[in-house]
Amino acid sequence: MSRAEFPNIHVSGHPLVRHKIRLLSDVKTDSKLFRELVAELTSLLIYEATVDLPLRQVVFRTPLEETTGYEIDARIGLVPILRAGLGMTEAALDALPGSEVWHLGLYRDETTHRPVSYYNKLPKLCPDDLVILLDPMLATGGSATAAVQTLKDWGAPRVKFVGLIAAPEGAQRMLDAHPDVECFVSLLDRQLDENAYIRPGLGDAGDRMFGTFADH
């Protein structure tokens, strides 16, 4: 699958990303290492997703003299989709410490595979210039496209999606629904199976992150 097929999807080619996503997908990776890898990959993908942030010039002092430099000239909001998006939030906030964090709760109905909203803690008006949506997996794209629409309805002037892996079906759904939203991922996988899981995939990101396999 080429970049031309999904112009909205940025698949990182960085060697560190390719190395870490392989470890993340490995069935032998336990929850502790899984969480660490999620954080590391999030940091790397945030770096790529923010390459075009606007800057303003400022005057400041080094220990030796006065000089000029740059600082980010944008308000940034981070919106993790609960629950799996929580595992990406701290790393994103470390990279963008001045950001505000808002939360959306969506889950996939296991029968219909459609997104169900159960939590929305957005303030009345969007205060940000850029909102970065965080969710490890872009599978069917149902939750992500619904979340993007919520953010647009909220008044977000610009939205980007940062995830870990995507399926072609999710990439296409996002492209159809929100062609203006750039998506940054570590891997574009082969396909969805009959249960709407990404293949080869990495399993359920939330379960692997939080060790909740016994719930199923």
Catalytically active residues, by annotation: 108, 112, 204, 207
Sign of CA dihedral 121, 144, 94, 62: negative
Burial of 23 (0-12, 13-18, 19+ CB in 10 A): middle
Report long-range pairs for 190-194 (Cβ below 8 Å, ≥24 apart). Answer: 191/167, 192/139, 192/140, 192/167
Concatenate the DSSP letters of all residues of 54-119 into one string.
-EEEEEEE-SS-EEEEEEE-S-EEEEEEETTTHHHHHHHHHHSTT-EE--EEEEE-TTT--EEEEE
